[in-house]
Structure 1
Amino acid sequence: MAEELILYTNPMSRGRIARWMLEETGVPYETKIIGFDGGMKSPEYLAVNPMGKVPAIRHGKTIVTECAAICAYLADTFPEANLAPEPDERGNYYRWMFFAAGPLEAAATNKALGFDTPADKSRMAGYGSFSDVMNTLEKAVGASPYIAGNRFTAADVYVGSHIGWGMSFGTIEKRQAFVDYYGRLMARPGYKRASEIDDASMKAAE
């Protein structure tokens, strides 16, 4: 008997990343919508994620939080979905997934907050400068059709989500390489299914 898989999410959050990843795996799962007004800080949900944030997944007795970890976990747990490269081909897969979780996330967040790293302090920041991050990301998405090579992987779910979200909200520049890359991802059936589910959930909550 398959272990129960539950997604804790909110359609107006990074939970959309986890939803997309789950739709790419094709495995059945239950959704629990967690509200921003009290739900995320309730004792019940804090027992799942002490940070009081979504998304999180529960797979049997295993709980995973943080979007990059959720993407990596699901790719490894459901290998039949073919969302991770072979172990000896995972260099770029790990590299860019965690680049997005580290330098890209930090640089985009600081930009949203109106903070620019002083030029003489850039060595103190793990990402250097915003322009360093954008230039590096542009080269990465322009090097091959997908972030880890010639086929789609879980790393594209995570990196692509950051790029799409960032371009929508102005924290990532709309460079042509980003637009082209994200366009390829938006054409995927898994992306479309996930977006339809979350968009419907948002509409129902209005």
Structure 2
Amino acid sequence: MADLTLYHAAPSRSSIVRWMLEELGEPYGIELLTLAEGEHLTADYKAINPMAKVPALRHGDVVITEAAAICTYLADEFPAAQLNMPVGDPRRGPYLKWLFFGPSCIEPAIIDHAMPRKEEPRRGMLGYGDFDTVMEVTAKAVAAGPYLLGDRFTAADVVVGSTIRFGVTFEILPKIPEFMAYLDRLLARPAMQRTLALDEELAGANA
């Protein structure tokens, strides 16, 4: 039995962690949840993640939730994969910034942009500031590439790249050249290709 188990639904945000696991190269198991049937709402699953969301990851006796937190944990726990920036490396600061910029700035900005409020909120009330600034900052970062930390692909690219891919796929992010070129680089990675194929197979089986 694998020491790593991903509680997963396809398609969902848990695909971020599946990609991370594929990049890691460690054996892992899948506990598949069918969201349409409410399997994430059962008492058994809420004992694992009280938020009743995927992903959740079990590593031995440890359970971690929230996609960015899981990716951060895995990168540090398995340093041989070189998906982290270790403590003491001056690049760890920017690395951590991008890991949490994805779920705290990019994702809420694009969701709010796709489903605007009746009254526009004050900029200072939003943790991400405003949509245009988030897009400008993100585009500049990925254009400097090939990855967010230069030549080094890290867990930050898994988190931010997945968020950009989500936004572009559902046409709630602009298909600007910077984003599309970055996605092309990510989609060329064998681990990303495996993840897409595996999740497509799962989605087809549950259709």
> What TM-score do the two structures reach when normalised by structure 1?
0.94
Deviation at 1:101, TM superposition (A): 1.6
- Tell me, in whole angstroms, the C-alpha distance in 2 between the residues paired with 1:117 and 1:132: 20
Query: Aligned residue for 2:96?
Result: 94
Q: Is the 8 A contact 1:117 1:129 kept in 2?
A: no
* Contact 2:58–2:64, Cα closer than 8 Å, also in 1: yes
Aligned residues between the structures: 204
Q: Tell me which residue corresponds to 2:26.
A: 27
* Contact kept? 1:117, 1:125, Cα under 8 Å: no
Structure 2 counterpart SS, 1:47: helix
Distance 1:83 1:61 in 2: 23
Provide the rounded CA distance (Å) in 2 between the counterparts of 1:53 and 1:61.
19
Check the 8 A contact 2:76/2:86 in 1, yes or no. Answer: no
Match of 2:52 in 1: 52
Question: Are residues 154 and 80 of structure 1, via their aligned partners in 2, closer, same or farther at CA, if it must alter by over 3 Å?
Answer: same
Task: Output the amino acid matched with 2:53.
Answer: K
Q: Distance in 2 between matches of 1:199 and 1:117?
A: 39
* 1:130, distance to aligned residue in structure 2 (A): 0.8
Deviation string 1:131-190 (CA, Å, 9 cap, x unpaired) is 111111111111221012211111100000000110011221111000001110000011
Q: 1:34–1:196: structure 2 CA closer, same or farther, 3 Å change rule? A: same
> Residues of 2 paired with 1:117 and 1:171: CA distance?
20
Return structure 1 stretches of 4+ with deviation > 2 angstroms: 114-119
Distance in 2 separating the partners of 1:70 and 1:113:
28
Contact 1:21 1:71 in 2 (8 A): yes
Contact 2:45 2:52 in 1 (8 A): yes
Structure 1, unaligned runs of 5 or more: none
SS at match of 1:173: coil
Deviations 1:69-127 (A, max 9, x none): 011111011111110123222122111111112111211111222338737x1122111
Matched residue, 2:147: 146
Residues 1:4 and 2:29 aligned together: no
* C-alpha distance in structure 2 between counterparts of 1:168 and 1:174, whole Å: 9
Conserved? CA contact 2:2–2:29, under 8 Å: no
Are residues 97 and 195 of structure 1, via their aligned partners in 2, closer, same or farther at CA, if it must alter by over 3 Å?
A: same
Retained in 2: the 8 A contact 1:96–1:148? no
For residue 76 of structure 2, what is the aligned residue in structure 1?
76
Asked if the contact 1:96/1:159 (under 8 Å) is kept, the reply is yes
- 2:158 aligned with 1:157: yes
Letter in 1 for 2:167: G
Give 2:120's aligned residue.
118
1:67 aligns with 2:67: yes
Instruction: Output the TM-score relative to the length of structure 2.
Output: 0.94
Give the RMSD, CA atoms, in angstroms. Answer: 1.6
Post-superposition shift, 1:3?
A: 6.8
